[in-house]
């Protein structure tokens, strides 16, 4: 039997952590992982943050990022040990045998040099081919990856092309020296969903056509199911499960894998139409000093105790809508009616009750809480401010709220830095609940969280809604979340609502073009889904 | 017009505006302070009549704005007025001294700039290890020294412990270039010491900042040698911050010169200024102050313009 | 909490200087103007550090010098701090024309080197302690303004401040309970740096003959009085010079430590 391309045995990776105010401490990121990759195969590495997937991926180049050390085990690439190889040997194989595609191409391209220079640099530096041939290869790759103007795009500077295009340029840069192995490190995570599908399809096609082997790192099982032959599930630096892609998504053996697979399965039964607590009529708004409207004539209604999901990609105006409703961005036209009374456009003109009854939860719980205040102060302040609760009475209510968000005793004295990501978001929810609001605006509240944690937050929000009858305006870019929580949906595109109604109506064909594009772009946990969608789109565009 | 040209023109216009505002502060701001020029010249025992006569003669009874514009007009045509204490034409007195000051500052810059960049590079290359710690420790010490303190330590070292230099730095017209160089050796050493620390620390920070970028990791993962990484990927992006660091510190050098000139009795602009502050000779102080401010503003402006020119986003707009 | 050695040395030295400054009258062996010794005597049992250009005890004058130098520096850095921090926070929180006006004024003041501005001002103003403290304090407040405005502006756009505003909190709560606690540690470190700046500034002015006037003794002035001795190999001028350097370095060590502690609070990125 021939040598595998990459064989990792018992890999141990360590790093030094510098907790503030404490002496530095050694931490182990990866505890003895084994991995084998044959030529021309694609292995998906999947796990939540802290699983060590990027760290393991980079170890295939014997590279430790930011002081990370590969301290144990063996890494064989093309038959030779590279973990302990000298700098010279490593330089010879990096870029030639293994290349790397990072999550943020925008940061990974040198802003001072043209794209073409950077794409062909590896070829020239390793003496793989002449400049003319390297450029011809690059243009070929640009074309294969579906970049516009493949002949001239290389003359541009990184900031002159879009994020999705730059991600494809980085793929071209990785493929140009014809390596044996490419490491894709969350290459589509930072992209909008409709862009992601194109980049994903381009990457898959390029992998297939060049026959290169790949390690594909992501936190999104549905994405990796499209490109990988095999999937390895990682957690806390250990392997949980390894199997063929079909087996992992259809017949997972481990509980943790099962949880990852079923995470998008949360379903919520739509409530019947009811009288609205919030009415937004013909809202138009722009930011100061700009000359275009970020919100264009937006009208939506939200029934009491129900959830309106506002869905759209970056730049669609969905967060601006939230700012207008809260009074942070007074609209130039239109009006907002809340609980039967018209709200002042401006924050300063709202009554204390207006402010109390509309609460907000943010995407980044980290920055939404004052790091110098305890959880008790954070949750207790609205009680004090709106209801005048003090002392023991306030503490008792804080504990009640902590119980409601399923956090036990002793948390009131802690600081935000001592909490996990999910706990922080729960505290933010408790702070909103403390005001006894009728409406909570949730701005991408689960986007920064790992899927399992996000799932827990969504379940909590639904339970609290059933209990307290509070309405949610739920802003998100993630359609799985929309399905899981909403009663009504508004789809936004370039500042306008393009589709709006009850969830069942909005998600049932016939669709308008944008909603169709958006819905069909969401990866499904099904092998071959990507090919079907692409084939379908090609057929449609041929038909037009 | 190319957008970058527009930015540069804007920056130059801003610099000129700033200079105008500074001239107003130096002239009108000083007027607003309590203090009487005529009294300062004649002393406490002067009779009211004598004071009034002097005020009339100096035009001090005109409205401040009128006098400001007269002064400004003079400055623009090269007429800086006459000294109150000895009646000498200020522009003439400044000419030779300005040359001496620029010679001193220039010598210091020629040594300090390459040395600071080199040390900054070494410290950044070995960040956190002993060469970095050694350099940081020494520079932290020199940063804490005012110019005159550094000067006397240097004087003591090179005139008493190792007597190879003179403690005074005299230059006069007709002196050969080499003789001049030997004369300014000590003040130059002091200035280099003082300016080096700031410049080196800021250079180190600027380079480290660039070296931590994701594109440097990309370059390393391409298997490029450390020198290629630095030369092709770090250097083009580090130029702007480093040049701006250098310019800001040259501006700082211009101030350091004032004290050092006094220490070494070096006949130049700084000593001239301090002398006339003591004598409360306002026209001289205003003129020399304006010149120092102009050099300072010019260097700051240059730093910004180089920053604009080196920015690829501005050079190659979408 | 572990204190690194360098910071510990800095703390001890700074503390000693403060102690000496406060109790100068009781510690100093001779009165400030007592000139009972000969010119530039060497170290002896009578005069531990020797005597100066007119026979005064150098140790005693160093001790009195500590008092006046530290007093002026402390007073002017406190002034700089109150002015700078107040207006800096005001500009950051209020924004709009208040911010524009204050920022442009500070830009203008910082467009000229502080020493030059001080020299121009002192050519008109009378030379006394109050004037010196005011001049140094006002000039130095520009840097405090820039820093506190930047720090406060960074914090003011954080979501937790927005959350407080959405709750309906008044300006006082926002500034004192939300922003200030988070701005404190960079500001404390900055106070150390401002204090050093004031020490160096007042010493330089005194050295130029434009600072503290006789019969008061301060370190910069002592260097000036004794500088001629250097030519004859008398090192009297180096002692006050060394005192200036030692004070500046020890405060710098403390400030440096506070600064690194502040930046390490930000934490790294997970992954």
| Separation CA A198–CA A440 (nearest Å) | 35
Mean pLDDT along residues C78-89: 92
Other CB atoms within 10 Å distance of the CB of residue B77? 9
Domain count, chain C: 1
| Separation CA B171–CA B192 (nearest Å) | 19
Band (pLDDT 50/70/90 cuts) for residue C268 is very low
| pLDDT > 70 fraction of chain C, expressed in percent and rounded | 95
The answer to which of A223-232, A267-276, B215-224, C130-139 has the lowest mean pLDDT is A267-276
Residue A376: the pLDDT is 93
Residue C271: the pLDDT is 25
pLDDT surpassing 80 at residue A175: yes
**Closest alpha carbon within chain A to C180:** A372
What radius of gyration do chain C's Cα atoms show?
22
The answer to which of A143-147, B57-61, C151-155 has the lowest mean pLDDT is B57-61
Residue B34: the pLDDT is 66
| Separation CA A168–CA A200 (nearest Å) | 9
User: Between chains, do C167 and A367 touch, taking CB under 8 Å as contact?
Assistant: no
Exposed/middle/buried for residue B17 (C-beta within 10 Å: 0-12, 13-18, 19+):
exposed
Residue B68: the pLDDT is 86
For C248, which of B144, B258, B259 is closest by C-beta distance? B144
pLDDT surpassing 50 at residue A371: yes
Which structure tokens are listed for C78?
A: 């406190």
User: Between chains, do C241 and B149 touch, taking CB under 8 Å as contact?
Assistant: yes
Which structure tokens are listed for B288?
A: 């020399």
Compute the nearest-CA separation of B7 from chain A (Å): 19
What's the mean per-residue pLDDT of chain C?
84
User: Between chains, do C159 and A362 touch, taking CB under 8 Å as contact?
Assistant: yes
Chain B residues lying within 8 Å of A92, measured CB to CB: 223
| Separation CA C53–CA C50 (nearest Å) | 10
Compute the nearest-CA separation of B311 from chain A (Å): 8
Compute the nearest-CA separation of B263 from chain C (Å): 9
| A105-142 residue pLDDT tens | 889 999 989 999 999 999 999 999 999 999 999 999 99
Other CB atoms within 10 Å distance of the CB of residue A110? 24
User: Between chains, do A370 and C166 touch, taking CB under 8 Å as contact?
Assistant: no
- Residue with the bigger pLDDT between B39 and A510: it is A510
Q: Is the pTM of this model over 0.90?
A: no
| A233-279 residue pLDDT tens | 999 999 999 999 999 999 999 999 998 888 766 777 888 888 999 99
Q: Which domains occur in chain A, in start order?
A: 6-262 (3.40.50.300), 276-508 (3.40.50.300)
The Cβ-side half-sphere exposure at B172, using a 13 Å CA radius, reads 2
Run of H or E residues at A76:
strand A69-77
Q: Are C225 and C240 in contact (CB under 8 A)?
A: no
Distance of CA A531 to the CA centre of its chain: 23
Q: Are C67 and C17 in contact (CB under 8 A)?
A: no
In angstroms, what CA-CA distances link C79 with A224, C88, C113? 61, 14, 19
Residue C269: the pLDDT is 25
**Closest alpha carbon within chain C to B147:** C204
Span B98-280: which CATH code?
1.10.3720.10
The answer to which of A468-482, C35-49, C145-159 has the lowest mean pLDDT is C35-49
For B152, which of C237, C249, C252 is closest by C-beta distance? C237
User: Between chains, do A352 and C2 touch, taking CB under 8 Å as contact?
Assistant: no
Other CB atoms within 10 Å distance of the CB of residue A314? 12
Nearest to C126 by CA among B40, A206, A257: B40
Residue B168: the pLDDT is 73
Compute the nearest-CA separation of B4 from chain C (Å): 23
Q: Which residues of A372-446 form beta strands (DSSP E)? A: 439-443
In terms of average pLDDT, the best of A364-368, A397-401, A452-456 is A397-401
In angstroms, what CA-CA distances link B97 with B83, B100, B135, C116, C162? 15, 5, 35, 17, 57
Count contacts between A and C (CB, < 8 Å): 61
| pLDDT > 70 fraction of chain A, expressed in percent and rounded | 98
Band (pLDDT 50/70/90 cuts) for residue A21 is low
- Residue with the bigger pLDDT between C145 and B63: it is C145
User: Between chains, do A121 and B220 touch, taking CB under 8 Å as contact?
Assistant: no
Which structure tokens are listed for A492?
A: 């936004």
| B61-96 residue pLDDT tens | 778 888 888 888 888 888 888 887 777 888 888 888
Residues 6 or more apart whose Cβ sits within 8 Å of residue B31: B64
- DSSP-assigned states of every residue in B78-116: T---B-TTT--BHHHHHHHHHHHHHHHHHHHHHHHHHHH
Mean pLDDT along residues A388-394: 92
Q: Are A114 and A135 in contact (CB under 8 A)?
A: no
pLDDT surpassing 90 at residue A361: yes
Count contacts between B and C (CB, < 8 Å): 139
pLDDT surpassing 70 at residue C1: no
Nearest to C253 by CA among C76, C3, C66: C3
Mean pLDDT along residues A389-411: 90
| A417-451 residue pLDDT tens | 888 888 999 999 999 999 999 999 999 998 888 88
Residue B1: the pLDDT is 67
Mean pLDDT along residues A526-541: 87
Q: Strand, helix or coil at B145?
A: coil
Mean pLDDT along residues C129-146: 92
Band (pLDDT 50/70/90 cuts) for residue C262 is low
Positive or negative: CA dihedral A107, A113, A118, A122 = negative
Nearest to B306 by CA among B235, B209, B253, B239: B239
Contacts for A290-294 with beta carbons within 8 Å, 24 or more apart?
A293/A332, A293/A495, A294/A320, A294/A495
**Closest alpha carbon within chain C to B256:** C115
Which structure tokens are listed for A469?
A: 């009858």
| pLDDT > 90 fraction of chain A, expressed in percent and rounded | 63
Mean pLDDT along residues C214-243: 83
Which structure tokens are listed for A231?
A: 């999937």
Band (pLDDT 50/70/90 cuts) for residue C167 is very high
User: Between chains, do A91 and B219 touch, taking CB under 8 Å as contact?
Assistant: no
Q: Are A477 and A312 in contact (CB under 8 A)?
A: yes
| B16-65 residue pLDDT tens | 999 999 998 888 877 777 666 677 666 667 788 887 887 777 677 778 88
Positive or negative: CA dihedral A241, A244, A245, A248 = negative
The CATH number assigned to the domain holding C228 equals 1.10.3720.10
Compute the nearest-CA separation of C251 from chain B (Å): 9
User: Between chains, do A100 and B218 touch, taking CB under 8 Å as contact?
Assistant: yes
Interface test with B, best of C101, C116, C138 (most B CBs within 10 A): C116
Query: Which subunits sit against A, judged by 3+ Cβ pairs under 8 A?
Result: B, C
| C41-62 residue pLDDT tens | 777 777 777 777 777 888 888 8
Residue A25: the pLDDT is 82
pLDDT surpassing 90 at residue B238: no
Residue A500: the pLDDT is 94
Band (pLDDT 50/70/90 cuts) for residue C265 is very low
Give me the phi and psi of A415, to 5 degrees please: -100, 155
Band (pLDDT 50/70/90 cuts) for residue B306 is confident
Band (pLDDT 50/70/90 cuts) for residue C264 is very low
Residue A314: the pLDDT is 84
User: Between chains, do C203 and B30 touch, taking CB under 8 Å as contact?
Assistant: no
- DSSP-assigned states of every residue in A430-450: HHHHHT--SEEEEESTTTTS-
Chain C residues lying within 8 Å of B277, measured CB to CB: 119-120, 122-123, 208, 210
| B116-174 residue pLDDT tens | 988 888 888 787 788 888 888 888 777 778 888 888 888 888 887 887 777 777 777 77
pLDDT surpassing 50 at residue A296: yes
What's the mean per-residue pLDDT of chain A?
90
| Separation CA A154–CA A176 (nearest Å) | 13
- The residue range of the domain holding C197 is 5-270
pLDDT surpassing 50 at residue C255: yes
Which structure tokens are listed for A276?
A: 């609205």
Chain C residues lying within 8 Å of A21, measured CB to CB: 1, 261, 264
Residue A185: the pLDDT is 94
ipTM over 0.90: no
User: Between chains, do C181 and A367 touch, taking CB under 8 Å as contact?
Assistant: no
pLDDT surpassing 60 at residue B103: yes
């Amino acid at each position: 039997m021939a040598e595998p391309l990459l064989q990792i045995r018992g890999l141990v990776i360590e790093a030094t952590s510098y907790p503030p105010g404490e002496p530095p401490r050694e931490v182990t990121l990866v505890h003895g992982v084994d991995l084998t990759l044959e030529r021309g195969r694609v292995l998906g590495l999947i796990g939540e943050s802290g699983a060590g997937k990027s760290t393991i991926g980079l170890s295939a180049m014997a590279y430790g990022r930011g002081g990370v050390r590969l301290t144990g085990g063996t890494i064989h690439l093309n038959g030779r040990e590279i973990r302990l190889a000298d700098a010279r040997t490593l330089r010879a194989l990096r870029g030639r045998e293994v290349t790397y595609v990072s999550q943020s191409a925008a940061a990974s391209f040198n802003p001072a040099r043209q794209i073409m220079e950077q794409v062909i640099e590896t070829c020239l530096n390793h003496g793989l081919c002449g400049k003319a041939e390297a450029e011809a290869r690059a243009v070929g790759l640009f074309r294969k990856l579906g970049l516009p103007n493949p002949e001239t795009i290389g003359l541009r500077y990184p900031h002159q092309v879009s994020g999705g295009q730059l991600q494809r340029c980085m793929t071209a840069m990785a493929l140009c020296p014809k390596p044996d192995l490419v490491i894709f490190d969350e290459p589509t995570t930072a992209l909008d969903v409709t862009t992601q599908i194109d980049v994903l399809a381009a990457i898959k096609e390029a992998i297939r056509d060049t026959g290169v082997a790949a390690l594909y790192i992501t936190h999104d099982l549905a994405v990796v199911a499209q490109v990988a032959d095999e999937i390895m599930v990682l957690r806390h630096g250990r392997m949980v499960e390894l199997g063929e892609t079909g087996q992992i998504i259809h017949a997972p053996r481990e509980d943790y894998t099962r949880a990852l697979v079923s995470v998008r399965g949360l379903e919520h039964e739509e409530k019947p139409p009811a009288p609205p607590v919030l009415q937004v009529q013909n809202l138009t708004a722009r930011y100061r000093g700009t000359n275009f409207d970020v919100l264009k004539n937006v009208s939506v209604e939200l029934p009491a105790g129900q959830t309106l999901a506002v869905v759209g990609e970056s730049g669609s105006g969905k967060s601006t809508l939230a700012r207008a409703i809260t009074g942070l961005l007074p609209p130039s036209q239109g009006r907002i009616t809340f609980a039967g009374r018209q709200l002042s456009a401006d924050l300063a003109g709202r009554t204390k009750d207006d402010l109390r009854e509309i609460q907000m939860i943010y995407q980044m719980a980290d920055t939404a809480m004052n790091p110098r205040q305890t959880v008790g102060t954070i949750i207790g302040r609205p009680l004090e401010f709106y209801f005048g609760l003090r002392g023991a009475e306030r503490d008792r209510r804080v504990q009640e709220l902590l119980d409601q968000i399923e956090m036990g005793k002793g948390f009131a004295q802690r600081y935000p830095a001592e909490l996990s990501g999910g706990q922080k978001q729960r505290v933010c929810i408790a702070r909103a609940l403390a005001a006894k609001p009728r409406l909570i605006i949730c701005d991408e509240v689960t986007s920064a969280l790992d899927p399992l944690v996000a799932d827990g937050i969504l379940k909590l929000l639904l339970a609290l809604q059933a209990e307290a009858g509070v309405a949610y305006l739920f802003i998100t870019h993630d359609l799985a979340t929309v399905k899981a929580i909403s009663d009504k949906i508004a789809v936004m595109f370039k500042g306008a609502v393009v589709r709006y109604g009850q969830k069942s109506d909005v998600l049932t064909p016939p669709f308008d073009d944008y909603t169709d594009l958006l819905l069909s772009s969401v990866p499904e946990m099904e092998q071959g889904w990507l090919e079907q969608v692409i084939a379908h789109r090609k057929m449609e565009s041929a038909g037009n | 017009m190319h957008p970058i040209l527009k930015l540069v023109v804007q920056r130059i216009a801003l610099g000129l505006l700033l200079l105008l505002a500074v001239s107003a502060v130096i002239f009108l701001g000083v007027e607003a302070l309590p203090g009487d020029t005529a009294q300062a010249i004649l002393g406490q025992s002067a009779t009211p009549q004598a004071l009034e006569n002097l005020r009339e003669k100096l035009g001090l009874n005109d409205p401040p704005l009128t006098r400001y514009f007269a002064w400004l007009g003079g400055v623009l045509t090269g007429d800086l007025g006459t000294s109150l204490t000895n009646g000498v034409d200020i522009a003439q007195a400044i000419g030779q001294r300005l040359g001496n000051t620029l010679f001193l500052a220039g010598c210091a810059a020629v040594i300090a700039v390459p040395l600071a960049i080199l040390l900054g590079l070494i410290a950044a290359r070995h960040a956190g290890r002993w060469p970095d710690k050694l350099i940081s420790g020494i520079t932290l010490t020199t940063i804490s020294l005012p110019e005159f303190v550094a000067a006397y330590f240097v004087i003591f070292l090179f005139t008493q412990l190792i007597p190879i230099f003179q403690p005074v730095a005299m230059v006069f017209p007709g002196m050969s270039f080499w003789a001049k160089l030997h004369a300014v050796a000590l003040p130059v050493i002091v200035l280099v010491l003082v300016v080096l620390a700031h410049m080196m620390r800021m250079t180190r920070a600027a380079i480290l900042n660039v070296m931590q970028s994701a594109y440097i990791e990309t370059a390393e993962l391409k298997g490029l040698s450390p020198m290629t990484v630095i030369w092709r990927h770090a250097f083009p992006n580090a130029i702007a911050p480093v040049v701006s660091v250098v310019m800001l510190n040259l501006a700082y050098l211009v101030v350091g010169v004032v004290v050092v000139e006094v220490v070494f009795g070096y006949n130049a602009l700084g000593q001239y200024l301090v002398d006339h502050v003591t004598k409360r000779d306002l026209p001289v102080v205003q003129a020399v102050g304006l010149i120092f401010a102009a050099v300072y503003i010019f260097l700051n402006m240059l730093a910004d313009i180089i920053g604009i020119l080196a920015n690829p986003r501005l050079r190659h707009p979408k | 909490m572990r204190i690194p050695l360098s910071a510990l040395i800095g703390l001890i030295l700074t503390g000693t200087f403060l102690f000496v400054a406060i109790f100068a009258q009781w510690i100093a062996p001779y009165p400030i103007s007592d000139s009972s010794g000969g010119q530039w005597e060497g170290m002896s049992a009578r005069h531990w550090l020797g005597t100066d250009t007119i026979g005064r005890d150098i140790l005693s004058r160093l001790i009195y010098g500590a008092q006046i130098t530290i007093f002026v520096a402390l007073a002017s850095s406190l002034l700089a701090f109150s002015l700078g921090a107040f207006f800096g926070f005001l500009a950051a929180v209020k924004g709009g024309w208040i911010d524009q006006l204050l920022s442009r004024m500070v830009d203008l003041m910082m467009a000229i080197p502080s020493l030059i501005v001080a020299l121009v001002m002192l050519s008109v103003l009378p030379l006394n302690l109050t004037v010196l403290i005011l001049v140094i304090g006002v000039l130095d407040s520009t840097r405090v303004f820039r820093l506190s405005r930047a720090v406060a502006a960074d914090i003011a756009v954080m979501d937790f401040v927005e959350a407080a505003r959405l709750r309906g909190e008044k300006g006082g709560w926002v500034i004192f309970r939300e922003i200030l606690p988070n701005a404190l540690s960079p500001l404390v470190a900055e106070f150390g740096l401002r204090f050093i700046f004031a020490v160096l500034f007042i010493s330089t002015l005194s050295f130029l003959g434009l600072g503290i006037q006789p019969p008061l003794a301060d370190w910069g002035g002592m260097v000036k009085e004794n500088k001629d001795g250097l030519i004859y190999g008398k090192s009297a001028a180096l002692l006050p010079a060394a005192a200036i350097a030692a004070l500046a370095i020890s405060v710098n060590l403390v400030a440096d430590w506070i600064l690194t502690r502040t930046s390490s609070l930000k934490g790294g990125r997970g992954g």
